[in-house]
Amino acid sequence: MIPLQNNPVGKIMIVGGGIGGIQAALDLSESGFYVYLLDKGPTVGGTMAQLDKTFPTNDCSTCILSPKLVEIAGHPNIEIMTFCELLDLEGDPGHFKAHVQQKPRYINMEKCIACGLCAEKCPKKAPDLFNTELGKRKAAYIPFPQAVPLKYALDPDYCLYLTKQKCGLCKKICPVDAVEFEQKIETFDVEVGAVILSPGFELALTQKDGEYGFGRYPNVVTSLQYERMLSATGPYEGHLRRPSDGKSPRKVAWIQCVMSRDISRNRPFCSSVCCMHAAKQAVLTRSHLPESETVIYFMDVRAHGKGFDEYVERAASGYQVQYRRSMISQLYLNPQKDNLIIETFDHHLNNTQEEEYDLVVLSSGFQPGQGWKTLADRLGVSLNPYGFACGDFDEPVSTSRPGVYVCGVIESPKDIPETVIQAGAAASEASTLLSNSRKFLKTDENKSAGEETDEGKDAEHISKVGVFVCHCGSNIASVVDIPSLLSEIEKIEGVALAEDLMFACSAETQDRIAERIKKHGINRVVIAACSPKTHEPLFRKTLKQAGLNPYLVDMANIRNQCSWVHAKDPKTATAKAMNLIRAAISRAEKLEPLTEETYEIVNNALVIGGGLAGMTAALTIAEQGFEVHLVEKTERLGGFARNLTHTLEGHSPPKLARLLEDRVRSHDRITLYLNSELSEHSGYIGAFKGTITNEQKEHEISYGAAVVASGGKAYQPMEFNCGQDDRVVTQVELAKRLQKDPQWPKQLKSIVMIQCVGSRSETFPWCSRVCCSAAVKNAIAMKEINPDIQVIILYRDLRAFGFKELYYLKARRQGTLFFRFIPEETPVVYDDGGDLIVDFTDRSSHQEFRVKPDMVVLSEGIHPVSDNEKIAGMLKLSRTPEGFFLEAHVKLAPVEFPTAGIFLAGLAHSPRFVDEAIAMAKCAAQQAVKILCRDKMKTSPTFAVVDPDLCSSCLACVRLCPFGAPFINEDGVAQIVPAKCRGCGICPSECPARAISLRHSTDDQTVSEIDALLKKASLDI
Amino acid sequence: MNLAFYPGCSLEGMANDYARSIIAVFEKLDVGLVEIDDWTCCGATAAHSLSDAMSVVLPAKNLAAAEKMGLDIVSPCANCFNRLTYSRKMLSKNIYDVPWNVTGKSKVHDMTRFLAQPDMISQIKDNVLMPLKGLNLVSYYGCQMVRPPRITGFTDYENPRTMDHIAEALGANALDWSYKATCCGASIGLGRRDIQLTLSARLIQKARQTGAEAIIVSCPLCQANLDMVQTEKGSQKVPIFYFTELMRLAFEGKACSIKNFRMHLTDPGPLLRKKALID
């Protein structure tokens, strides 16, 4: 990707507001571009917003997604365009004209304050699509409480006014006159430089297909419906019930590969993620209902991701989830109980078994959504036969239309982390293309949050607290007795003003608050309303507008924590609200004005590792105009790819390595250090310092960000006589032999491949992800040269996920024989008087076999390189027990570390395919660019500070800090680098000398808050 | 409107009840059946499993004859329907030399789907003299009529509904059950009679569990198989009707004689008398 020179438009359109679109939007807006984020629905959030928990950490999906939603909602460089669809695209990269169609919301976005009155009073019910039609919502609705933008909409298919010109109640009662029945479909053009398509997917299973009685039997649900059934915000409020009678299910079954790996439905590919979400759902079911029995019917357990096998193992042994290897063809209904009967064949007993279940979950495969094909055709984006826009091996997120990129499931079925990685990669492509139109991010406005105010003096003054109590329409006011609260608040010493507001968050109210602050000389503010998570930034801005330091506001969440959860008990809700407000006032009195600091950024990067990932990362950063130091410990570039021949799909990794090497060597912004290692590293995000050492000399360098791409290595097997018998080789060796001597298979009669060598074992529990494909690839290659050769693959689970399944199918059609074994019955390889013998037991037929192959090929796994330990120590990065690097968050921060400014790519993260490593490198590089494209770095004012007089230099903070922020300074006491501190609060609470305090959460502030909370509620209404 | 009628061999033999009911029913409907002159074997017996060429060429003679008549074909037997449809589809690929000219202009209808079209359903309703009130039945489609869907064109092959719609038009209660297209075992009867009996006996048992008093079918082989198993297992409880037999019953009312069901092994008399549908 070479940046355009023709003054391109520095704006990007992202189509689809799921996690992929959101991540790409954040990456681009933080890289100095303006983003239009389109979604055809009323909100962004995508499928991830519908999920209950996520594997393998069982994190709440909403809890990890919501912060991202909040971030894009308030981002000045992101324009969210809901109900919008891209119709067509004219022009060339850098200068596209996008035709957009916007369907009406029938609610004025500017006016709507999301009070919810319209939905509350709306008389018409409609199927709740967010809850996968398992429940009803009103025709006036928000899809889910965390929706962004948080604006109501009218459903034109159900609204009585829009369908029959009747009702119109919402228009009459809307307090801000936001209902606009007259809105029409609009089309308009937007100038953009690049487009990212992230439209996501839908389940391939529909009621029309009738598969397994879905849509016919009430207790057969899809995997996505089951997510909603598990969710606390779902139709059953987190109490697991079955649809037919609302009873808790005792026995639940999952059927895997529904509308996946199914040739008769023309869906021969694997949907990649269903094995893991079924395991997760079964685990959650067992925790919801410990009495329940859970059974997963499957063909292969495809747990090919980082730590996935351990999760499946934990599901099976820790949660007693039963795994039964069987492809179920049909479900039978027991008409008496609405139960479902599953019939399987038992190999041991040699007969059929019937089992009855209360509920059956169908793990449906994915397909592109409605309208995608039309859009792709119009845009000139070519698709594979199943409608996916598969990227190339070396450009995994590019499409056939230059300047148009893809990410997420629309590229190929994938899970959340791989989607996030591709989103970052797509952002990097657009960012590189439009590099010359980047608006470098200025941090000036934040330089001094309250510089022009007199808040410095304020701290000495007697506090005058202004308390504003929000009605939130009727949200709070209908439960909490606000007049009583106000009269009670007025009695509290230090309160200068107590006032109620209909909507504390509406735009005109901000002016009113600012005016009151000035008029009454208020120097501390308490807002009793909703969550600070969503609204504190707004009120901080208002304080600034009123000339106060923005950190002098505190919020009491009397909506979520009082009126919502205690809606049936107004008295208690009011008493609790009073307590929360009292605590907030108490804390507010102790708040101190805080100032944000800034520092200069070093605008270049360090990349560790010169393999495919490292070279890609270096080029991605350098093409965008930043200097890169690329360190490679060996004498040559290319890493492990140099040892490979070709991929399953027929591409050549060594050729790609050579191409990248040429580009790296000729790039004038990349400084290459071969035979070199990073020997010292210090500093913090934006301002690192390090030393690169090679045999001759040392180079002192400084860098604002670093990418770790230290690679992986092939496991060197000692098993199965490998190394002693030259007829026993590895897949990599076999591939090389085939490349050197293409006719060689003609001399062979029989070959046996053994999978999972050095993977999924006691010593190394991970799946190496790529070895199944390597075996299939070499089997196909040999069969193509010599169709008569017998190829036997001994495997445990054949993990040809996504479209790799098509090659597995091809290998089977060519006659390659697949036999499954279990670890307890590992095949035996030995020499019998010169004959190579393999003995194995096939688990499907329970037969024992003996073959005399010419060769045995071992599918060796991918292991971490030993250098990781040293790099981890120096850069203070954490690793998994296996020795791969551990990312900040497995789902949403796959290329980040807890230590800011350092990023992760390629095999150093986990075993992966070339295209996945390339995408990851681009994503990691873009995270670095997000830092480098700023002039200054801002530090959060809420960092921990050490009182040097109290510090006893015990090192507790130094050892405990996950971010490496504390160090022992020249005076021999601990000091915390504000730029590294994340304000997590570990060190202040652990410091035995109580020498550390966290600004904005000081002991003083917290204790006074607690004291106020513990005072007996004086409000007795 | 006329249709080229391809009865197939079964309807001349063991499924003669079926043939007679079809002719009686179509006399009342606004559709004429014109039997294809000199029709020949559809290839459903041994031909298709031994030779793909034979399976394409054998039915082609009948397809060509229908084209000459300028009519679409209707096939009551599920097997014939499957073979004719397969042949018609394969002929368009021009793989085999065929001595007859077949352009594909004559479509092949299976009888249930033809009669379940909305306008035919309303004709059926108009002709009902005696609604089959209180008759609880399940419909059984078997394999050949609905599968493979790329040949038969059934989109709801997991849950076919054509005979259910017809039964409801006649006033009967068509109950839903899970075994509409589950194997009846007829195909394996020669080799493994034990499996055949297990499979077909299960269908009878499940139909009874669902609350059905009778099963309606369109395939002569299914009919024979489900009928016979009740004799062999010694409990003749559930009559197996061709769906057109019940149409005739509803159309003719008490004028319909029990003799029309003379080839049934499980005597439908007791049930029909209990429901007061026959004297």
Please, which residues bridge with residue A703 across strands? A688
Stronger pLDDT, A453 or A851, i.e. the higher one:
A851
Domain shared by A51 and A171, yes or no: no
Chain A residues in contact with B148 (beta carbon < 8 A):
264
Domain shared by A337 and A214, yes or no: yes
- Cα nearest neighbour of A207 on chain B: B156
Query: Position of tokens 């200054």?
Result: A936
Query: Which of B158, B164, B183, B195 has the highest number of chain A CBs within 10 A, making it the mutation to test binding with A?
Result: B158
Q: Residues A633-662: pLDDT tens digits?
A: 999 999 999 999 999 999 999 999 999 999
Q: For residue A228, is pLDDT > 70?
A: yes
Stronger pLDDT, A204 or A846, i.e. the higher one:
A204
The CA distance from A305 to A296, in Å, is 19
With contact defined as beta carbons under 8 Å apart, do A826 and A839 qualify?
Answer: no
The CA distance from B139 to A769, in Å, is 48
Q: What is the DSSP track for A678-720?
A: EEEEEEETTEEEEEEE-SS-EEEEEESEEEE---EEE----GG
- Cα nearest neighbour of A209 on chain B: B156
Chain A residues in contact with B206 (beta carbon < 8 A):
332
Fold classification of B129-274 is Rossmann fold (3.40.50)
pLDDT at position A456 is 44
Q: Residues A507-535: pLDDT tens digits?
A: 778 889 999 999 999 999 999 998 887 78
Stronger pLDDT, A32 or A449, i.e. the higher one:
A32
Q: Tokens in use for B248? A: 């005739």
With contact defined as beta carbons under 8 Å apart, do A582 and A1012 qualify?
Answer: yes
Helix, strand, coil fractions of chain B, as percent rounded to 5: 50, 10, 40
Question: Is A1011 part of any domain?
Answer: no
Q: Residues A535-586: pLDDT tens digits?
A: 888 899 899 989 999 999 999 999 989 998 898 899 999 999 999 999 999 9
Question: Is A450 part of any domain?
Answer: no
Burial of residue A962 (number of CB atoms within 10 Å: 0-12, 13-18, 19+): middle
The CA distance from A965 to A981, in Å, is 5
What's the predicted TM-score (pTM) here? Answer: 0.90
The CA distance from A234 to A230, in Å, is 7
pLDDT at position A366 is 97
Question: What angle do helix axes A1003-1014 and A570-590 make, rounded to 10 degrees?
Answer: 150
| Single-letter amino acid, residue B12 | E
The beta-carbon neighbor of A332 closest among B148, B155, B178 is B178
| Single-letter amino acid, residue A569 | D
pLDDT at position A105 is 98
Fold classification of B2-112 is Glutathione S-transferase Yfyf (Class Pi); Chain A, domain 2 (1.20.1050)
Report CA torsion sign: A398, A401, A405, A411: negative
How far does the CA of residue B79 sit from the closest CA of chain A (Å)?
21
Q: Which domain holds residue A146?
A: 109-184
The CA distance from A233 to A429, in Å, is 37
What is the average per-residue pLDDT within A204-225?
Answer: 94
- Cα nearest neighbour of A342 on chain B: B178
Domain final position from A318, A345, A366: A366
Residues in chain A: 1021
Domain shared by A52 and A177, yes or no: no
Q: Residues A231-269: pLDDT tens digits?
A: 988 999 889 999 999 999 999 999 999 999 999 889 999
Domain shared by A195 and A177, yes or no: no
Give residue A1019's pLDDT band: very low, low, confident or very high (50, 70, 90).
Answer: low
Contact A259/B at CB under 8 A: no
Contact state of B211 with A264 under an 8 Å Cβ cutoff: no
Q: Residues A54-65: pLDDT tens digits?
A: 999 888 898 889
Q: For residue A134, is pLDDT > 70?
A: yes
pLDDT at position A389 is 97
Domain shared by A53 and A12, yes or no: yes
Chain A residues in contact with B159 (beta carbon < 8 A):
210, 213, 216
How far does the CA of residue B158 sit from the closest CA of chain A (Å)?
6
3-state secondary structure of A917: helix
Q: Parallel, antiparallel, or unpaired for β A862-864 and A712-714?
A: antiparallel
What is the average per-residue pLDDT within B133-157?
Answer: 93
- How many pairs of residues across A and B have Cβ atoms under 8 Å apart? 32
3-state secondary structure of A762: coil
Chain B residues within 8 A (CB-CB) of chain A? 148-149, 155-159, 176-179, 182, 206, 209-211
- Phi, psi at B90, each rounded to 5°: -70, -30
What is the average per-residue pLDDT within A834-850?
Answer: 95
pLDDT at position A510 is 87
Domain shared by A815 and A877, yes or no: no
Q: Residues with Cβ < 8 Å from A240, sequence gap 6 or more?
A: A229, A230, A248, A249, A285, A288, A289
Q: Residues A337-382: pLDDT tens digits?
A: 999 999 998 777 888 889 999 999 999 999 999 999 999 999 999 9
Of the candidate ranges A484-488, B93-97, B109-113, the one whose mean pLDDT is the lowest: B93-97
Q: What is the 3-state secondary structure (H, E, C) of A259-316?
A: CCCEHHHCECCCCCCHHHHHHHHHHHHHHHCCCCEEEEEECCCCCCCCCHHHHHHHHH
pLDDT at position A345 is 85
How far does the CA of residue B159 sit from the closest CA of chain A (Å)?
7
The beta-carbon neighbor of B209 closest among A210, A330, A335 is A335
pLDDT at position A146 is 82
3-state secondary structure of A924: helix
What is the average per-residue pLDDT within A491-507?
Answer: 89
pLDDT at position A451 is 46
What is the average per-residue pLDDT within A1005-1017?
Answer: 86
CA B147 to chain centre: 14
Chain B residues in contact with A330 (beta carbon < 8 A):
178, 182
How far does the CA of residue A207 sit from the closest CA of chain B (Å)?
10
Q: Cis (ω within 30 of 0) for the bond into A249?
A: no
Cα angle vertex A487, ends A485, A493, to 5°? 100
What is the average per-residue pLDDT within A748-770?
Answer: 96
Contact A420/B at CB under 8 A: no
Q: Residues A430-469: pLDDT tens digits?
A: 999 999 999 876 554 443 444 444 444 444 568 899 999 9
DSSP-derived secondary structure letter, A885: B
Domain shared by A253 and A325, yes or no: yes
pLDDT at position B187 is 86
What is the average per-residue pLDDT within A787-802?
Answer: 97
Domain final position from A155, A184, A213: A184
* HSE (side-chain half, CA atoms, 13 Å) at A790: 12
DSSP-derived secondary structure letter, A723: T
CA A1013 to chain centre: 37
Q: For residue A501, is pLDDT > 60?
A: yes
CA A967 to chain centre: 32
pLDDT at position A745 is 96
- From the list A303, A300, A348, the residue with the least C-alpha distance to A327 is A300
Q: Residues A148-157: pLDDT tens digits?
A: 998 999 999 9
Chain A residues in contact with B176 (beta carbon < 8 A):
216, 333, 335
The CA distance from B122 to A30, in Å, is 65
With contact defined as beta carbons under 8 Å apart, do B218 and B242 qualify?
Answer: yes
Q: Residues A686-700: pLDDT tens digits?
A: 999 999 999 889 999
How far does the CA of residue A127 sit from the closest CA of chain B (Å)?
24
Question: Is A455 part of any domain?
Answer: no
pLDDT at position A567 is 86
What is the average per-residue pLDDT within B267-271?
Answer: 94
- From the list B86, B81, B95, the residue with the least C-alpha distance to B218 is B81
- From the list B21, B34, B11, the residue with the least C-alpha distance to B247 is B21
With contact defined as beta carbons under 8 Å apart, do A690 and A678 qualify?
Answer: yes
Torsion from C-alpha of A177, A182, A183, A186, nearest 10 degrees: -150
Residues in chain B: 279
Q: Residues A905-962: pLDDT tens digits?
A: 999 999 999 999 999 999 999 999 999 999 898 888 999 999 999 999 999 999 999 8
Domain final position from A345, A366, A387: A366
Cα angle vertex A917, ends A913, A923, to 5°? 145
A947: domain CATH number is: 3.30.70.20
Q: Parallel, antiparallel, or unpaired for β A936-939 and A202-203?
A: unpaired
Query: Position of tokens 């089992």?
Result: A355
Query: Position of tokens 């390629």?
Result: A906
The CA distance from A542 to A166, in Å, is 41
Compute CA distances B26 → B21, B116, B278, whole Å.
Answer: 9, 14, 21
Contact state of A264 with B148 under an 8 Å Cβ cutoff: yes
What is the average per-residue pLDDT within B126-139?
Answer: 97
With contact defined as beta carbons under 8 Å apart, do A134 and A229 qualify?
Answer: yes
Report CA torsion sign: A72, A78, A83, A84: negative
Domain shared by A208 and A275, yes or no: yes
Please, which residues bridge with residue A78 across strands? A35
Q: For residue B171, is pLDDT > 60?
A: yes
How far does the CA of residue B178 sit from the closest CA of chain A (Å)?
5
Contact state of B158 with A264 under an 8 Å Cβ cutoff: no
A899: domain CATH number is: 3.50.50.60
Domain count for chain A, please give it: 7
Domain map of chain B by residue range? 2-112, 129-274
Domain shared by A576 and A621, yes or no: no
The CA distance from A867 to A884, in Å, is 10
- From the list A433, A437, A391, the residue with the least C-alpha distance to A414 is A391
Q: Residues with Cβ < 8 Å from B158, sequence gap 6 or more?
A: A209, A210, A211, A212, A213, B181
Mean pLDDT of chain A, nearest integer: 93
pLDDT at position A1018 is 54
Question: Is A1008 part of any domain?
Answer: no
- From the list A11, A31, A17, the residue with the least C-alpha distance to A80 is A17
With contact defined as beta carbons under 8 Å apart, do B147 and B157 qualify?
Answer: yes
The beta-carbon neighbor of A331 closest among B176, B178, B210 is B178
What is the average per-residue pLDDT within A77-103?
Answer: 97
Compute CA distances A987 → A873, A952, B262, whole Å.
Answer: 21, 14, 93
Domain shared by A216 and A329, yes or no: yes
The CA distance from B80 to B189, in Å, is 19
Question: Is A153 part of any domain?
Answer: yes
How far does the CA of residue A210 sit from the closest CA of chain B (Å)?
6
Q: For residue B233, is pLDDT > 80?
A: no
Domain shared by A60 and A197, yes or no: yes
Question: What angle do helix axes B78-91 and B220-232 make, rounded to 10 degrees?
Answer: 150
